[in-house]
Every structure is written in C-alpha cells, then in structure tokens.
Amino acid sequence: RSPETWYLAFGFAGPLSLYLVFNTWLPTFYQQSLGLPAAQASQLTGLANLVGIPAAIAGGLLTRRSGRRRPWIWGSGLVLCLSGFGLFLTRDLLWLTGFAVVYGVSIFLWVSPLLTLAMELPGMTPTRLSLVMGVFFGGSQRHLALQELTVVVVAVGVAGAQQIDGNAGAPFVEVAG
C-alpha cells in the first residue's frame, strides 16, 4: 500500500538488472569482440565485484558521516551509466580495467544508502519494515521485463558504437540474436 515500497523495489531492480546482464554478457562480448581468453574476460567482470564489496561498506560509512543519502544514490547512478557504457565502448584493456573499477564502485556504493532508507520512513515499525523488505527484495527479483529493457538499452548503445566503428556491435548482435 505504501508507494515508497514500490519506489525502493524499482530503484533496486534497475541496477540489479544491469548487473546481471553485464555479468552474463560481458565476458562473451570481450571474447568475441576483443579476442580475450575466457579467463581474462571473466577477470574484467570479476574485478567489478571485487572492488564493489568494499564500496558497499563505504556507501554506508559515507552516508553516516555525511548524513545524506541522495547524493550517494544519485551520484552512483550517474557514474554507473557512464562507466557501464565505457565497459563495452572501448577496446583498450587499460581503459576497460579502469571502467571496470569505476563500474564496480558505482554498482555497489548506493546499496547501503538505499537499503537503510526504508528504516527511516515515517511510521516504520519492525513488522512493517519486514514487509517492505520482502516486497523490496521479492519485487526486485521479478525484474525480467526490466532486464529485457536493459538488454535493449545496451543494444542501442552498441549499435551506436557500430555506426562510429564499423564492427563494435557485431559480437552483441551474434550473442543476442
């Protein structure tokens, strides 16, 4: 009944969809597009998770220290968009590594501020919080339509790159087609 519950679930579902799409698709893209061996392609996507773990902890600490959530949530989202495109629009391994680190920080930094937001809503009780979190996690897991939309957005980005660089989008078309 509370609109905040649905806002939180949808706010979590978008980056979760991007995370799942990138973790499953990027290694194949790197193998086909850049000719990287499977281990090296997987290391690039694994790097994002490796730096993301401390970033999630830092998100909580930064929120507590600054007393503000919105800049960390919105800032992470904006950086996530830019670094996400960087993960497949560049072919240079050094730049890819840098984008993987920035993407890893931005995909995890916002989690603590968003998760704790529900705890401070007016009239929140432990019982209501458990219901909110159930909808939050359950609703965000039922994001197949959003994941499909994420694939479309990534495809449009790759197609745009293909217009600039004659073959940048070809591996994606093979994987998704």
Quick one: average pLDDT of 53-63? 91
Q: Give the whole-angstrom CA distance, residue 41 versus residue 34.
A: 9
Is residue 173's pLDDT more than 70?
Answer: no
For residue 92, which phi and psi values (nearest 5 degrees)? -80, 125
Q: Which of 125, 110, 80 is nearest to 12 (CA)?
A: 110
CA distances from 172 to 54, 63, 164 (A): 31, 37, 15
Q: What is the pLDDT of residues 60-92, one digit of tens each?
A: 899 889 988 888 888 998 999 899 888 888 888
Q: What is the pLDDT of residues 11-32, one digit of tens each?
A: 777 787 788 888 888 898 899 8
Quick one: average pLDDT of 151-159? 56
* The pLDDT value given to residue 4: 76
Quick one: average pLDDT of 100-110? 93
Is residue 161's pLDDT more than 90?
Answer: no
Is residue 39's pLDDT more than 90?
Answer: yes
* The pLDDT value given to residue 123: 80
Q: Is the pTM of this model over 0.85?
A: no
Is residue 146's pLDDT more than 90?
Answer: no
